[in-house]
């Protein structure tokens, strides 16, 4: 079967364009512009140049020998997105969309941010490409993420404080959508994950697919074949979608997405496994709601996984059975965070630590001829204070 989603903006029943009438011209314009540049040689060449010389691609696919020995089974490889400029995979998407904005002749870029990572990555890409960036951020998040707010300012971005709702990411997205409606002519809305109305889930997936393409090429070179499994953490779902996408038609490759379980009996931020089908931020997908059908406040020790919904393509891939999804909670992620630091000299982001925990579990039940690639979505320097504060 040839996988060619989205079809008419949908992944099976998921996705779509659940936006107010006034935003329809914007999403249509974006779709048309993306279609035009997607296979345009000069766009592709320019993006490749920025990815290589600015962001630092390609990243290594690294055989973690000590972690492999510790797990005692399949070989564990790390796709080192933590080595990119900015310390995470997010720059793959922000460079792609910022360049797209430039080709659309939009000099102003807006973005939403939760923990501030996507805001910083947007500010970087916009500075590099000479675009003006404005970032919406909940006042709760601004309080918690002072350093990222300051980073964005250093990088020339303007940060808008959002005081509505729970004053976090989901409210920042609503504000950004409002801004976009009123400033369509000169503004591109740069969404940070495979979420939002069509064409965003497709665009972000395509830009992040550079991860999976490199995994494929590297594993052919190193092992002479595709890996037996690919494991990645799922927040909105972009580093995982980018890792999985080039392998979807290769049924021999197990694809595993790891959601954040948080702690205690809270649902964490596992929208796929603990949520319900619903519409949020312009898409039909899986959403975490409370008993009144209101969007639930989520929690994870990994700020980047703390989102109340998930990209619609993941909902489709779960339903079709092509991808297996599982949950890792805070304490398991911390154990993996410490293990990788100690055994490999690599401090992983807490987000990525969720994927590492699952890879260790899986490796034990596989043999040494098999291989797992874990996408190390980011580095953990940003998380060291969190670990210190917990005292465990």
Ligand X SMILES: *Cc1c(COP(=O)(O)O)cnc(C)c1O
Q: Which residues bind ligand X (CB under 6 A)?
A: 88, 90, 117, 193, 233-240, 304-305, 349, 351-352, 377-378
- Least gap, CB of 204 to ligand X (angstroms): 8
- Report the nearest approach of ligand X to the CB of residue 39 (Å): 25
Catalytic residue selected from 81, 112, 134, 313: 112
Nearer to ligand X, 175 or 351 (CB): 351
Q: Which of 269, 285, 371, 377 is catalytic?
A: 377
Instruction: Give the integer Cα–Cα distance in Å for 319 and 62.
Output: 32
Nearer to ligand X, 90 or 102 (CB): 90
Q: How far apart are CA 51 and CA 22, in angstroms?
A: 34
CB of residue 70 to ligand X, shortest distance in Å = 22
For residue 62, give the nearest of 373, 357, 380, 379 by alpha carbon. 373
Residues 121, 138 contacting (CB under 8 angstroms): no
Q: Which of these is catalytic: 75, 90, 102, 254?
A: 90
Shortest distance in whole angstroms from residue 21 CB to ligand X: 28
Determine whether 339 is an active site residue.
no
Known active-site residue 112:
yes
In the complex, the smallest distance separating the C-beta of residue 64 from ligand X, rounded to whole angstroms, is 17
Distance CA 338, CA 286 (A): 31
For residue 29, how many other CB atoms are within 10 A of its CB? 14
Q: Is-catalytic flag, 90?
A: yes
| Cβ–Cβ < 8 Å for 360, 348 | no
Query: CA 267 to CA 260: how far, in whole Å?
Result: 9
Residue 348, beta-bridge partner list: 379
Least spacing, CB of residue 184 vs ligand X, in Å = 25
Q: Which is nearer to ligand X, 132 or 213 (CB)?
A: 213
Indicate the residue among 98 and 366 with the shorter CB distance to ligand X: 98
What is the CB-side half-sphere exposure of residue 171 using CA atoms within 13 A?
Answer: 18
Minimum distance from residue 283 beta carbon to ligand X (Å): 14
Query: Residue for token digits 């922000």?
Result: 94
Q: Residue 187 or 353: which CB sits closer to ligand X?
A: 353
Residue pair 249/1 in contact by the 8 Å Cβ criterion: yes
Distance of CA 275 to CAs 24, 259, 366, Å? Answer: 28, 11, 31
Contact 311, 193 (CB under 8 A): yes
**For residue 63, which phi and psi values (nearest 5 degrees)?**
-75, 110
| Residue (95 or 366) nearer to ligand X, CB | 95
DSSP-H helix ranges across the chain: 24-38, 41-49, 65-71, 90-103, 117-129, 139-144, 146-154, 169-182, 200-208, 210-223, 238-244, 271-274, 312-319, 330-344, 350-364, 384-390
C-beta of 89 vs 106, nearer to ligand X: 89
What amino acid positions are annotated as catalytic residues? 90, 112, 377
């Amino acid at each position: 079967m040839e996988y060619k989603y989205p079809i008419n903006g949908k992944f099976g029943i998921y996705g779509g364009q659940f936006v107010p009438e006034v935003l329809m011209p914007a999403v249509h314009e974006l779709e048309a512009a993306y279609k035009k540049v997607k296979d345009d040689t000069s766009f592709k060449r320019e993006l490749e140049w920025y990815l290589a010389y600015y962001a630092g691609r390609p990243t290594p696919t690294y055989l973690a020998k000590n972690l492999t020995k510790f797990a005692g089974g399949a070989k564990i490889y790390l796709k080192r997105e933590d080595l990119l400029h900015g310390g995470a995979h997010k720059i793959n998407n922000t460079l792609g969309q910022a360049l797209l904005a430039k080709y659309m002749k939009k000099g102003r870029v807006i973005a939403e941010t939760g923990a501030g990572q996507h805001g910083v990555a947007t500010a970087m890409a916009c500075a590099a490409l000479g675009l003006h960036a404005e970032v919406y951020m909940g006042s709760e998040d601004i309080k918690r993420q002072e350093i990222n707010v300051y980073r964005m300012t250093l990088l020339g971005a303007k940060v808008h404080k959002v005081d509505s709702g729970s004053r976090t990411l989901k409210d920042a997205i609503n504000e950004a959508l409002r801004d976009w409606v009123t400033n369509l002519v000169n503004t591109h809305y740069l969404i940070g994950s495979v979420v939002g109305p069509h064409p965003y889930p497709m665009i972000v997936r395509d830009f992040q697919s550079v991860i999976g393409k490199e995994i494929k090429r590297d594993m052919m070179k190193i092992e002479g074949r595709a890996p037996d499994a690919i494991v990645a953490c799922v927040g909105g779902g972009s580093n995982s979608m980018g890792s999985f996408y080039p392998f979807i038609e290769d049924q021999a490759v197990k694809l595993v997405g790891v959601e954040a379980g948080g702690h205690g009996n809270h649902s964490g931020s596992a929208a796929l496994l603990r949520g319900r089908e619903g519409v949020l931020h312009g898409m039909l997908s899986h959403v975490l709601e409370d008993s009144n059908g209101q969007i639930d406040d989520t929690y994870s020790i990994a700020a980047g996984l703390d989102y109340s919904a998930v990209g619609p393509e993941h909902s489709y891939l779960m339903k079709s059975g092509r991808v297996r999804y599982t949950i890792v909670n805070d304490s398991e992620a911390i154990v993996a965070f410490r293990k990788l630091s100690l055994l490999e000299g690599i401090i992983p982001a807490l987000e990525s630590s969720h994927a590492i925990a699952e890879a260790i579990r899986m490796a034990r039940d596989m043999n040494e001829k098999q291989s797992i690639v874990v996408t190390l979505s980011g580095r953990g320097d940003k998380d060291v204070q969190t670990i210190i504060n917990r005292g465990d």
